[in-house]
Amino acid sequence: MLNLGISRPTMISFPFLTSLLTLIVFCAAPTVKAADIDWGQVGAKNIKVFYPGVASWEFLKESDHGTGGPPVKTIKKACADCHVGKDGTYDINADKIITGELKKVKSGKPLEPEPVAGAKGFSEVALQVAYDAENIYLRLQWAGSGASVADPALAKDDKADRISIQIANKIKTFSLFGCFIACHDDQTGMPENSGEEKKLYGYYAADKPQDKLDGFLSQGQFIDLWEAYFEGPEVKTKDGYVLESRHEDQNDLSAAGSFEGGKYTVVITRKLSTGDARDITLQDGKDFSIGISIHDNKHKGRHHYTSFPLSVGLSTAGGDVAAKKF
């Protein structure tokens, strides 16, 4: 073949061209980072958290709960229906639970067999939620001691100052009773524990065969568990889920925060959809339910404060907390 000195055009493969166009689109698309969000534009919800003692799923359903047992057992009312007034006041005697004064109705046993001296029964968490096309951002603030900020070694002993968030969107009882559906009399740290290590578990998943558990996972019927904790000034995260036990998961969370003036501030970021079947997928135009708990001042295990469940709306009208879209 004669070489006439005419160069041939370079051929670009289709896969290469597709990847190049994807990269260009990705780079051109505007993104929002947690640090760029103007939290002054995002409404805050002050959430009351209380000390529950050894109140468990079993306690909620039985006569030790008094008149509260039957409506829980028949799933007719949510916790807040009976315990929170229209003006937002709580009728829970958490200040007497934490001191060991309050007793169970039938058995007369204390709701806290290991009283916490000098502690209050209630605290408060300010929650703001924002999201964009890719991520959800939760900003939380609460007062505390700063114990594991001052002493990072506490985090190695599971005594870190931390906030945990449970999330579910396909479990009716979670939307009514929150994290109580995963707290049980036989768990580690509870008076009726046999000495065997027993973690959080959903009452409906206990002792179920693996094929049944796989079905719950595939249908999204589990509790997503996010945790942000202080190890010195650094905020670290744990990502997990609760089904027949508490499991650690691939960590799809990131967080930043500080402890200043006796107050923790944490911003947790996660993709709306991580692609992980063990993460709850969050969708624009949908609600999901959350429960919040905080540990502080060297406490671990069941010695914590918890909230009743709340709903968070991503551009919906019905949520207790309205997320701001950016």
| pLDDT score recorded for residue 18 | 39
- Which DSSP helix (H) or strand (E) runs through 34? none
- The enclosing domain of 202 has a CATH number of 2.60.40.1190
Is residue 7, in this structure, part of any structural domain at all? no
Q: What is the pLDDT of residue 46?
A: 97
Tell me, what's the pLDDT at 318?
84
Q: Is the dihedral of CA 306, 164, 132, 286 positive or negative?
A: negative
Tokens of 19: 């990847």
What is the H or E stretch that residue 211 is in?
Answer: helix 210-218
Q: pTM for the complete prediction?
A: 0.89
Q: Which two tokens stand for residue 221?
A: 């019927």
Which stretches of the chain drop beneath a pLDDT of 50?
1-29
* Count of beta carbons in the 10 Å neighbourhood of residue 235: 23
| Residue 134, in any domain of the structure | yes
Query: Residue 89: inside a domain, yes or no?
Result: yes
What is the C-alpha to C-alpha distance for residues 4 and 74, in angstroms, rounded to an integer? 89
* Tokens 């003006």 belong to residue: 87
Question: How far is the C-alpha of 229 from the C-alpha of 217, rounded, in Å?
Answer: 26
pLDDT of residue 8: 36
pLDDT for 31 equals 57
DSSP β-bridge partners for residue 260: 263
* 164 within domain boundaries: yes
Question: Does residue 203 fall inside a structural domain?
Answer: yes
> Which backbone phi and psi does 229 adopt, to 5 degrees?
-135, 155
Closest CA to 33 of 313, 258, 267, 252: 267
Question: What whole-number distance in Å separates Cα of residue 117 and Cα of residue 104?
Answer: 20
Residue 42 DSSP class: S
Any residues with CB less than 8 A from the CB of 191 and at least 6 apart, and which?
Answer: 54, 109, 113, 185
Cβ atoms of 325 and 314 closer than 8 Å: yes
Question: CB–CB of 124/204 below 8 Å?
Answer: no
Q: What is the pLDDT of residue 35?
A: 80
Residue 22's pLDDT is 40
Token digits for 279?
A: 């993460």
User: How high is the pLDDT of residue 13?
Assistant: 44
Structural domain containing residue 309:
44-325
- Residue 22: inside a domain: no
Question: Domain count of the chain?
Answer: 1
Residue 80 lies in a domain: yes
> Alpha-carbon dihedral of residues 76, 90, 166, 45, nearest 10 degrees?
120
Whether residue 160 lies inside any domain: the answer is yes
d(CA 292, CA 320): 14
